[in-house]
Chains A and B, each alone.
Chain A
Amino acid sequence: MKNRFLLTTCLVMASLLSFTTANAKDLRLAYDADPVTLDIHEQLSGGMLQLSHMSFDPLIRWTKDLAFENRLATSYKRLNPTTVRFNLRKGVKFHSGNPMTAADFKWTFDRLKVSPDFKGIFANFTELNVIDDHTIDLVTSGPYPLVLHTSTYIFPMDSKFYTGTDANGNDKGAIVKNGASFASTNMSGTGPFKIVSREQGVKIVFERFGDYWDKQSPGNVDRIIFTPIKDEQTRVAALLSGDVDFIAPVSPNDFGQIKAASNAELITMPGTRIITFQMNQKRKKELQDQRVRMAIVHAINNEAIVEKIMKGFATTAGQMSPAGYLGYNPKLKPRYDLKLAKQLMKDAGYEDGFSVTMMAPNNRYVNDDKIAQAVAAMLSKINIKVDLQTMPKAQYWPAFDDRAADIMMIGWHSDTEDSANFYEFLAMTPDQSTGMGVYNSGNYSSDYVDTTTLAANRETDSAKRAEMLQSIEAKIYQDAGFVPLHWQNLAWAARKGVDVDPIVNALNFPYLGDLVVQ
């Protein structure tokens, strides 16, 4: 009797197992959100870039160690200080069946130049010239060091597919943020996966593109079932219960559970998003004193924050640029020294402290509200009384725009994966006309930083440029222009047998086309 039961159980298990293996080339994927649109130029966001890498291909892409790798470009070379020539891959087809040519690049480039989200990145580019069907030249207004960086954003779209008018008589190529358009609901790229069905907010089914050009890719996933799962605990539960194969992001709180599970694996990697506090010198005269800002930087134990609050899931920062970036200055270490901080406050004449207001979001960055609370507590040790307010990001950004508090939190990821982007948005003197320093709520201002950043953006010699960028970091460090906390790490988790490690990177665009599933 007992044996019989055992036998039945085994049979059932075996049949279940065979059922799973039969679908082994399926990847059930769960991110926290699904793409808002299928128009990759409509919005510049992590989610859209992840989609771009699934259904499109860029000219070149970042490798795991932040080098460049050819995709649709087979080679490139700088013709003169303002022109780079790319040779294009031949025999590439779009999902629609149209062959990819230089004309598609031209069309895509022109579209990027009018995309409200992307035009900023392409501001220094004047034109894309078609030399022949498989050769293009990218021309910049002046010498520009970030041509290759920017090329990672050029995912050619199927110009024939997107040209013309749709059933409602609207231009198929139009970029419409407010409402649906042809491009936001239809897609034709060159990428490894094409969309079979999509129910927004619920599920997207991708199928491997049969005519995908990259036959060398080891990737063996035939179908991706992408389900957004918003709640992080549910996402982890779905993985652990075997309902999905691959999840991201993963909260540090769930690491233990995943590590303990026998059927799942956790992959973490240092990220490039810096988390900082900015000290508003316009609102608060005490913060104009470099010694006070220095005292604040020294009073905040970001080592402890990384360890206790982030559970080690972050890299303590002393500057903006993460390691691997050109501007990363190895000499600039995190500096926690409470004794020195107190001394600095005394020197500045604020031994008895003062009070400040502080704001932070509570659902934007990992543990953002907890970090803010910890920082507030640390500042009380040098007698700075903090009136802290945390709020959902929907309310936080308008408050940030209003510079509503003396100290405000902001995290930043460089769209270009280059240090200069940090300075342009966070450190340069705010200027409405040039658009520099838009997110510099501290109103930190340094002529040196302003001029050197602009100069570095014209310097094409990598070594010289690195020197310039690192000197900028050093200057901001000296001035205590902001409070560096840490770079958020990235984490993914997958079912055992889903070999995620080779395809993830610090930019958080998993190259799912190359994913191998056992």
Chain B
Amino acid sequence: MAQFLLKRLLQVILVMFVISAFCFGIQDSLGDPTRELAAMSMSDEERENLKDTLGLNDPLLVQYGRFVGRAVQGDLGTSYFFKEPALTVILKKLPATLELAFAASIIIITISIPLGVFCAIRPRHWFAKFTMAVSVIGISIPVFLTALALIFIFSITLGWMPSFGRGEIVEVWGYWSTNFASWDGIVHIIMPAIALSSIMLPLFIRLVRAEMLEVLSSEYVKFARAKGMDSLTVYFKHALKNTMLPVITVGGVQIGIMVAYTILTESVFQWPGMGFMFLEAVNRSDIPLITAYIMFVGFLFVIVNTLVDLLYGLINPMVDLVSGK
């Protein structure tokens, strides 16, 4: 176990290093941040002064060295726009994004598993066929279109749902701002979560269905039937748990990806999370924030993968993380 975690730690460090080097490598094409920091009419001399104070005129390697030196101490630079340490900004935005991804995951899980299982058990049922057809269409609808359609129907036309933002948020544990502690917050998170889940939902339904079908055709399911188990036991005890194994590996990683892919949903709903923050940072050439965000997402990926592996090991007795196999 310790070895497994140690390996992952080394992996994190490597990922961070590669990402930061990459970000510095492409820094020049991220644009000139002084354009966003100062007036158009500012003189060239003043602009150069500003660049000097920002350290942008130093050779790239010097800048990178300085960055790594600070990064080791946990300082990923200061956002030009937020005027705060980039990491602080990201951590402030993190709850919004994680809660959104969490809500979307809840929607995905509660819908995709029953639907996927149903489609596998009753493949000829009209509802199964309908679900599969809709999921094919669903995959090809871009998320911003879903989001705008939701806003148009439920906010503008019907006036039932708020159109943007997080609504009333409550601080818990001193730091975490949550949507789930007030009715207003819950109402605000519904549509963004639906929009975000809409990308992954069809994928998950198909995944659950495909895995379930495969499991249902396996010998042990046949053997369970042969030893007299009724259909419910066969489906929900023997088949479902096995179905969940690949769903966890693929799905866990997908949900991890979702955290990084909240950008579109967040910008349509003006959701004050990391994704929207990143988009803005790119628009503003807020290089420290861009770099810190990408590094953070890389970190998140490794964390998610580790969690998925741990969970997988918990469910699958054949995987023994403790002995490092």
Contact = CB atoms under 8 A, between A and B. Distances in A.
Closest 4 CB pairs of A and B: A394-B31, A44-B39, A241-B155, A180-B83
A119 B47 CA distance: 12
A93 B263 CA distance: 44
B290 to A, nearest CB: 10
Interface string B17-51: 00000000000111110011111111111100110
B309 interface: no
Interface stretch (B157-165, B220-228, B241-249): B157-165
Contacts of A363: 283
Interface string A17-60: 00000000000000000001100000111000000000000000
A167 to B, nearest CB: 16
A160 interface: no
B227 to A, nearest CB: 57
B268 A227 contact: no
A52 B46 CA distance: 23
B53 A177 contact: yes
* Best-surrounded residue of B44, B84, B152, B270 (most CB of chain A within 10 A): B270
A93 B157 CA distance: 46
Contacts of A425: 40-41
A117 B39 CA distance: 6
Interface stretch (A128-136, A432-440, A488-496): A432-440
A438 B148 CA distance: 42
B270 A44 contact: no
20 contacts: A36-B81, A36-B83, A178-B50, A178-B53, A202-B165, A202-B166, A228-B270, A230-B279, A237-B151, A238-B164, A240-B155, A241-B161, A243-B162, A243-B164, A393-B35, A394-B36, A394-B282, A425-B41, A435-B43, A435-B45
Contact of A234 (B164, B282, B283): B164
Interface string B255-290: 000000000000111101000110110111100000
Given A394-B35, A401-B32, 18 more contacts: A44-B39, A116-B49, A117-B42, A119-B46, A121-B41, A177-B38, A178-B54, A180-B83, A180-B84, A181-B83, A184-B83, A228-B270, A230-B276, A234-B164, A237-B152, A238-B270, A393-B35, A398-B28
B78 A179 contact: yes
Query: DSSP majority for the A interface?
Result: loop
Contacts of A121: 41
Nearest to A425: B41
A200 interface: yes
Contacts of A199: 272
A102 to B, nearest CB: 27
Contacts of A412: 40
Given A43-B39, A240-B156, A392 B31 contact: yes
A230 B267 contact: yes
A43 B31 contact: no
Contact of A44 (B28, B41, B53, B151): B41
B42 A120 contact: yes
Interface residues of A, number: 51
Contacts of A242: 159
A398 B32 contact: yes
Contacts of A243: 155, 162-165
B291 to A, nearest CB: 14
Contacts of B45: 435
Contacts of A224: none
A47 to B, nearest CB: 11
Interface in A85-132: 116-121
B82 interface: yes
A118 B82 CA distance: 21
Nearest to A401: B32
Contacts of A37: 83
B163 A238 contact: yes
B301 interface: no
Given A37-B83, A117-B42, A178-B78, A241 B162 contact: yes
A394 B284 contact: yes
Interface string B311-323: 0000000000000
A201 B37 contact: no
B118 interface: no
Given A230-B267, A231-B270, A394-B284, A200 B82 contact: yes
A236 to B, nearest CB: 9
B80 interface: yes
Contacts of B279: 230
Nearest to B83: A180
B267 A231 contact: yes
A201 B272 contact: yes
Contacts, number: 145
A233 interface: yes
Interface string A399-434: 001000000000010010000010001000000100
Given A229-B164, A435-B43, A116 B38 contact: yes
Contacts of A45: 39
Contact of A398 (B31, B54, B151, B284): B31
Given A116-B49, A241-B163, A415-B41, A395 B280 contact: no
Contact of A43 (B37, B163, B280, B285): B37
Contacts of A448: none
A121 B41 CA distance: 9
A120 B37 CA distance: 16
Nearest to B150: A237
Interface in A368-395: 392-395
A68 interface: no
Contacts of B276: 230
A393 B35 CA distance: 9
A432 B282 CA distance: 30
A418 B319 CA distance: 75
B156 A230 contact: no
Contacts of B161: 241
* Best-surrounded residue of A184, A243, A438 (most CB of chain B within 10 A): A243
Contacts of B28: 398
A397 interface: yes
Interface string A175-215: 00111110011000000000000011110000000000000
B165 A227 contact: yes
Contacts of B31: 392-395, 397-398
B158 to A, nearest CB: 9
Given A116-B38, A201-B280, A432-B44, A234 B163 contact: yes
A91 B136 CA distance: 70
A179 B83 contact: yes
Given A363-B283, A394-B284, A394-B285, A231 B268 contact: yes
A230 B43 contact: no
A439 B165 CA distance: 38
A117 B37 CA distance: 9
B32 A397 contact: yes
